[in-house]
């Protein structure tokens, strides 16, 4: 890699609260740019009436305040790929975003993806899997309040994301290169691995946290990145992930279900019959209602497994893992005996994203009849790819 003097940085806008406006009824609606824009234009104040009357993206009316600082940091460009509420973000948009980044990957040294917060962790995880061998920083961020309202965190988070993406370090060969070569989330002061990220607050400006791991770094007066925690870019395939390239498909339907007391068996069965696989968020360390319960789960897990629909177990606890051998509860033993795949400390929504990734792309998980090859699927799901889990202890 050649030495980089000033990173060419792309801000890719997907919509979400950070760029939202209010319509004439006072409803918050998407208000981001579509097509090319100048990132420096985001760092000026737009007139309040614009958010009420103008349904189009309009450039700010006042002089630029941060253009010089931005130009010293990087060579910025901006493109609005989508302009949607994050609750409308679907796997097809994960694919669209990943493919756009790959298509223009040689044109830029670093990327910032600005999106909504409600589904940000799923998007970030999908990009982490699809761009595992991309080898450049991709920083996902957003905001709790629109950039058009007082007290907004939008421009603070966006500028910090650009600082992280443009952060440079000198490698062992003496070349200057981006410090990060993976997908991360920055929000508030935290730098978070994309596959360990969870939104834990609807109202706090420090709304995201790293779960079951340490932060990759913090944003203070300077950007502080823990270089010992960075993921290396795989130069070639491994036994379990041979020549993965940059697959971007997420079109296989996956179910995600949090267990709750006396959940009807039919609910899991019906969900499983319409999906390629089901992720369960179990109680505690991956426990499920036993055969003695009013609504046992283990028999349905076995039924779905025999139908070619793998069932995976995570924990609905914020911290901890689904680990059956350490906690020999009857409920967990019955689930495992029924064929349940244990995902240790992988987050439930990340597990659902990874299951889509593994089944939808050409990893040999689908048999000729379209059903999932459980053994192959099991092997890939319990092997970490993008830092999403601690190695399974099975």
Domain residue spans of the chain:
8-229, 254-381
Contact (Cβ atoms closer than 8 angstroms) between residue 333 and residue 325:
no
Cα 188 to Cα 64, 126, 159, 221: the distances in Å are: 24, 22, 11, 13
- Rounded to the nearest 10 degrees, how much is the dihedral formed by the CA atoms of 83, 84, 89, 95? -20
> For the segment 149-193, what is each residue's pLDDT rounded down to a tens digit?
878 899 899 999 999 999 999 888 888 889 999 999 999 999 999
| Cβ proximity of 281 and 257 under 8 Å | yes
CB 109 within 8 A of CB 9: yes
Render pLDDT for 83-98 as a digit per residue (tens, 0 to 9): 999 999 999 999 999 9
254-381 matches 8-229 in CATH topology: yes
CATH of 254-381, one of 3.90.650.10, 3.40.50.40, 3.40.630.30, 3.40.50.1220: 3.40.50.40
* Cα separation values, 391 from 231, 359, 365, 382, Å: 15, 20, 21, 7
pLDDT tens for residues 264-301? 989 999 999 999 999 999 998 888 887 777 678 989 99
Class of domain 8-229: alpha beta
Highest-confidence segment of 1-5, 48-52, 59-63: 1-5
pTM of the predicted model as reported, rounded to 2 decimal places: 0.91
**Of 97, 106, 162, residue with least CA distance to 130:** 97
């Amino acid at each position: 890699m050649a030495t980089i003097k000033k990173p060419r940085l792309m801000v890719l806008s997907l919509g979400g609260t950070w760029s939202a406006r209010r319509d004439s009824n006072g409803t918050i609606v998407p208000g981001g740019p579509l097509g090319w824009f100048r990132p420096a234009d985001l760092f000026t104040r737009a007139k309040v009436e614009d958010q009420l009357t103008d349904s189009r993206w309009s450039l700010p009316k006042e002089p630029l305040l941060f253009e010089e600082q931005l130009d010293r940091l990087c060579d910025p460009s901006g493109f609005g790929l989508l302009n949607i509420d994050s609750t409308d973000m679907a796997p097809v948009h994960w694919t669209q975003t990943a493919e756009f980044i790959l298509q223009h990957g040689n044109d830029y040294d670093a990327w910032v993806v600005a999106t909504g917060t409600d589904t940000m962790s799923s998007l970030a995880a999908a990009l982490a899997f699809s761009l595992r061998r991309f080898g450049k920083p991709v920083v996902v961020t957003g905001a709790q309040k629109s950039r058009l309202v007082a007290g907004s965190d939008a421009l603070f988070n966006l500028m910090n994301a650009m600082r992280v993406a443009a952060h440079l370090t000198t490698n062992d060969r003496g070349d200057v290169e981006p410090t990060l070569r993976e997908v991360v989330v920055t929000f508030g002061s935290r730098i978070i691995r994309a596959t360990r990220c969870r939104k834990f607050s609807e109202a706090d400006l420090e709304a995201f946290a790293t779960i079951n791991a340490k932060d990759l770094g913090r944003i203070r007066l300077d950007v502080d990145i823990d270089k010992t925690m960075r993921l290396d870019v795989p130069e070639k395939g491994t036994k379990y992930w041979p020549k993965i390239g940059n697959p971007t498909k997420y079109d296989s339907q996956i179910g995600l279900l949090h267990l709750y007391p006396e959940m009807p068996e039919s609910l899991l069965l019906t969900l499983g019959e319409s999906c390629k696989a089901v992720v369960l968020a179990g109680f505690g360390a991956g426990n499920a209602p036993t055969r003695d319960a009013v609504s046992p789960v283990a028999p349905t897990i076995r039924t779905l497994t025999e139908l070619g629909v793998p069932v995976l177990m995570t924990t609905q606890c914020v911290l901890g893992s689904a680990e059956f051998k350490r906690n020999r509860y009857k409920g967990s033993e019955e689930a495992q005996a029924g064929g349940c795949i244990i995902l240790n400390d992988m987050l439930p929504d990340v597990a659902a994203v990874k299951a889509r990734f593994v089944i939808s792309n050409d990893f040999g998980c689908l048999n000729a009849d379209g059903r999932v090859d459980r053994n192959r699927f099991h092997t890939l799901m319990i092997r970490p790819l993008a830092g999403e889990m601690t190695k399974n202890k099975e």
